[in-house]
Amino acid sequence: MFAGHFGLAAAVKAKEKDVPVWALMLGTQLLDVIFVPLYLSGVETIVPVGGMGYGSGLIHADYSHSLVGAAIISLIYGYIGRRAWGKRAGTVLGLVTFSHWLLDLIVHRPDLPILPGNLGSLPLLGFGLWRHPAVSAWLEGIMIAAGFLLYFRSALARSRNARSGAGGKSKKWAYISSAAMGVLLLSSLLTDTMG
């Protein structure tokens, strides 16, 4: 669900002009960024469960994607954001980071542990929307479309509020940044759905 996470970051950027877009994008993907070295080292795994591509694996991300692990990662990233850009930015970045786990809860099969390392062998969580790839793809498509539209509207509004001398350049920048965001969002959706 890379695309859905990025769509959320674009939507949040529309409202949070003081938080850098790269920090929002990283925040929405931070659990997966941490997953990669754990996966490469064999600490976390993906087991195929049939089919190819979109949602075709049972993900054993017992540290990076546990409920408590996600909360700790979110708090740390929020703290870093607070130190860099202030209290509001830190809160936003912490919440955006934790949103990754919430969105994964919707699409993952029951493979999300509550405690790191699945301590206590508590029930695994996940509503399993990935079992229905077309519905999952539509949901992500809606999320990236909404994120793009909110981002674009916000960029145009900011360009209108720019000083008259820089207005033309601001409007051009609004279109360029929105086009770049659109390409990123569409590319992430294609990557998600085509495996």
Q: Which tens digits make up the pLDDT trace of 20-73? A: 989 998 999 999 999 999 999 999 998 888 766 667 778 899 999 999 999 999
* Average of per-residue pLDDT across 167-189: 68
Q: Which tens digits make up the pLDDT trace of 147-177? A: 888 888 887 777 776 654 555 566 676 667 7
Residue 182, CA atoms < 13 Å, CB-side half-sphere: 12
| Number of neighbours of residue 147 by Cβ within 10 angstroms | 25
Q: Which tens digits make up the pLDDT trace of 69-108? A: 999 999 999 999 999 999 999 999 999 999 999 999 999 9
For CA atoms 110, 184, 154, 24, the dihedral sign is positive
3-class DSSP assignment, residue 59? strand
**pTM of structure:** 0.83
